[in-house]
Each structure stands twice: as C-alpha cells, then as structure tokens.
Structure 1
C-alpha cells in the first residue's frame, strides 16, 4: 500500500517528485523534457528523479512508446499531489488572475478559463503594513476610518485578525469608542495616524473564537429531481450539509448565500439552498 507523502517545503528533488505526481494525476502524461524545462535541470538529473519516483511508487506509471511519455498506470494512486478538484481549479484561476506565475504552477497544458472580474477595492499597502505590524506587536492604532453609518472618522482600534467574506477583506478589531469587536473594511481606511499602547485591557473576542455549524439543505419547494440535484451539487448527506465557520462570519455567510431571504416558490432559482439550523461547534 502506498503511503501518502506530505510536502516538506524543500525546492530540491522532493519538489520535482511532487511535480511528476501532479502531471501524472491531472494531465495523464509526463516526459523528461517536462521536468528539465520546468526546473532547468539536466536530462541525467531528470532521469534520476523519474527513477526515484518509481522507487517510491513502483506501480504508478508506465512508459508509452507511442506518446514517448510516461502515463499513469491503471493502479495509479497519487502520493504527493492533492487529490482534490478545488486544488487544481484554484491553481487554474490563480494563473488566470495573475496571482500565480506559470513558474509557480505545475499545470502544463492550460485549458481555456475565464473568471468574472469584480470592481477593484484598493487597499493601500502602507496601511496594510501598519495593520500587520500592529497585530504582530499587539499595538493599538489611531486611524482615520470612514464607515457608511458613522460620521466620526477618527477612532482607536486594536487589530486582532484578518477576514475575507468572499468579496472583500476586513480586519477584526476591538474598537475603543464602541467598546466592542467590529469588522472594518480594509479599503475604507484613509490613514493610520499613529501606533500606541492599548489604552485599556480588552476582553476576549468570543464571536471570533467560537465556531458554529450552519446546516443547509435544498429549497423545500423543489420537486424530488431538483432536490437530488442540489444535494449532489453540495455533497449533502440525507438532504443536509454543514458549513463550519466562526460565529463572527455568520452575517457574511448569510448575505453571500442569500440564507436570510425567504423562499416561497419552487421557481426561485436564487434560493437553491436554505438554512435549516445553526449548531454549536468546538471553540478555539
């Protein structure tokens, strides 16, 4: 039985073995030229890497003389690559968006792909740096922050964590003016005025440290075939799937999935899923 191998972080042979495994898994073929071109190593070194891979996983690949390449055997089992579609798709979209350079991606043949652009939210690098350093040093910040509901712009915050709601970045921070933890949109910081010692001690962020399971199910007004389609789509078991989140994220999850909108008809395609209940989960 082949043991699962974890990534060590080294950029030597183990990284090249991971590359071999990835190409066999997702693209179904690999030759020495693929290895030498990507890593800029010699042919003899690539041959050694292929021999090492065969030593680790002797039944994973065979040489196809027609293709002049190694292909996965019928008994192939990945030993390095993540056997998860999201891993490949996230890497694909990372390349499309320019977040991931071709030299940082093991994908060789790139299928056509497009992503939906969103309006840009500018986060000033200087402000992000100050927030990171304040968080690391447990310092408070006096900031010029413009919210949609509060006219007072200057406030003192103690940054605690970053959060992403699927659309925009927030920083979770204790607001000394409000005497509570709040989420602050990064792009709405106008200026960091100064870094100071925390004026007072602050309580634990209970909502951040607490986890809940949001249990979802298909639209109850759907017919059987539609419900089965949604159950398969979201990998539901007995008509339910759980999404584990921090309690502080509940508002954003409900808004993103329209879980706070009632569904009254079977024709409302916006409401394919509904929230069935919320369950407590373990805390940090």
Structure 2
C-alpha cells in the first residue's frame, strides 16, 4: 500500500492529498475541480490523487456519481495530523503556498493562546455552515449550565480572545454567539432550514455596520506615546466601521475605555471611545470596559 512517507509520495502530491483531507473534513465534500483550480493540474492528475487518497484511506470518501463529488463518510478518520492554530488560520485566510515549514533566522515569540476549539467540533460547525444545515449541540453556558439546542450557524468568528459560531438559536428564536470551546457534542440535523428566518441575511446585528471612533485616552499623561502605537498624528483618531455584533468584542480586546467620561485608568486603558452614549444606542456595550447600565446608557 502507498504511504505518506517522503519516499512514498512527493511533497506536491502530499499537499494535494492534504487538500482533499482538509476540504472533506471541514467542508464535507471535495471535487476534482477543487484540486485543478487550487494547484493548476490536469483533471487526470487530480483523478490519480483521489485514487491514491482512497487507497490510503478507503473509508473516508463516498463518491456521488450524479453530482460528481466526493462526500465525507460517517466513519471518516483524518489522514493527516492537524495543528489547531494552523487549521484556524487556514479557515480564516485560506491555504498557504505549502505545508513545509521554513527556517526562520529571526527569533519571534508571541503570547500563547490559552483556549482553542476541538477540531472535530470545529469541523462539524464548518460543514454545517457550508451545507446550510442545522446542528444539534450540547452547550455549556456560564449562566444556565449544560443545555441541548438546535442552532443554524452561518459564520465563524475570531474575537481575538476566543472562537465562536454566529448562529440562529431555535430554542430562543434569535441569533446568538456560541463559543466553540463550550460545545461538547455536535450532530447535523436532517431537513432544510427556514431561510426566511434562520439565514445570515436575516441576522440584523450581523449585517448592520456601526462607526466607532477611538481616541488616545484623554487622561493619559503622554498621549504622544499612544499616538505612536497606532500610527496617528497629533489630534488624529482611529475610525472603524465594524459589524454591530462585533463592536463589543473589539472594544474589550483592545481595552477601550467606554465609560461616559473616560474615567478608567489611562495606564491600563490607553484608548477611549468617542461618544459612547451614542454608540450604546446602536450596539450592545455590555462587555465593553467601563460600560454601566446605571450610567444611563
């Protein structure tokens, strides 16, 4: 039987096999044209790649002759080992030019990621989004503990602190955010979704844009240092247009003081939100630093 060792397949063929494995795991299906478009190869070469893949993993793919597509089987087992960070990056940015790492002569370090989603859960959510289906999940909430819910996810979101699925929750009849690390099981629900209610087009908070203006904290002793951090000239501000549903996450991630009069410690919160009372009429600031319902917004 063929193997994935360097002597068994070329680097370019291993990359194409990985593409098959990745797409069927996270999208639920893959075609010869996916390889032809991605790698610029002839259809006959793509056919040989699928033949080799099925020799290596004979139970992973079912071929749909009517639609000429290979689909994920219920007993699928990944042919490759997946790094979580690379997988999330690939879903976000698309596949890189190759699988092999390159030597890096300059030392670069970064703060570690403390929470990463389970790849099987991520794959189930990703496939459901692609197929336009509903998902039955077991979910742990900070406020209500473990529950079972049917959701219709339409997008994956990286808040900078965690990954979540934006989805219509059939239990509460509204769109909500579901943190992927809190999903303990996920199973596709048979049947079609009600696109007039449950599709991304109906998610008003997702489709609405809100304008945010961020300024160096007015109480900072040396605001020029903050301006340099963000590439600003004196008196300039950062102007952003973001999805309404993402505003609170962004403000929390960047530590933006959202109190009415910018009263938080400027040594900890170097940016402040201009006119937070008006912004609070457009989006929820419940998780934003300095937000207070008692403050009148």
Q: In the alignment, what sits opposite 1:276?
A: 274
Q: Secondary structure at the match of 1:235?
A: coil
Contact 2:129–2:155 (8 Å) recurs in 1: yes
Alignment of 1:101-116 (within 5 A): 103=100, 110-116=105-111
Q: Distance in 1 between matches of 2:220 and 2:123?
A: 49
Q: In the alignment, what sits opposite 2:236?
A: 239
TM-score (norm 1): 0.55
Alignment of 1:249-260 (within 5 A): 249-260=246-257
Q: Distance in 2 between matches of 1:213 and 1:244?
A: 5
Structure 1 residues 239 and 144, CA gap change in structure 2 (3 angstroms): same
Shift of 1:135: 0.9
| Structure 1 residue 188 corresponds to structure 2 residue 182 | yes
Q: In the alignment, what sits opposite 1:3?
A: none
Structure 1 residues 199 and 111, CA gap change in structure 2 (3 angstroms): closer
Q: Distance in 2 between matches of 1:193 and 1:157?
A: 10
Report how many residues are paired.
Answer: 179
Q: In the alignment, what sits opposite 1:53?
A: none
Structure 1 residues 109 and 159, CA gap change in structure 2 (3 angstroms): closer
- Gaps of at least 5 residues in structure 2 are 1-11, 13-88, 90-94, 283-297
Q: Secondary structure at the match of 1:132?
A: helix
| Structure 1 residue 216 corresponds to structure 2 residue 211 | no
Q: In the alignment, what sits opposite 1:177?
A: 171
Structure 1 residues 103 and 127, CA gap change in structure 2 (3 angstroms): closer
Structure 1 residues 198 and 181, CA gap change in structure 2 (3 angstroms): farther
Shift of 1:114: 1.6
1:248 aligned to 245, 249, 263, which one? 245
Structure 1 residues 199 and 135, CA gap change in structure 2 (3 angstroms): closer
Structure 1 residues 133 and 264, CA gap change in structure 2 (3 angstroms): closer
Q: Distance in 2 between matches of 1:168 and 1:153?
A: 20
Q: Distance in 2 between matches of 1:270 and 1:102?
A: 40
Contact 1:134–1:159 (8 Å) recurs in 2: yes
The two structures, once aligned, show a CA RMSD in angstroms of 3.1
TM-score (norm 2): 0.53
Q: In the alignment, what sits opposite 2:115?
A: 120
Structure 1 residues 138 and 110, CA gap change in structure 2 (3 angstroms): same
Contact 1:217–1:236 (8 Å) recurs in 2: no
Shift of 1:261: 5.2
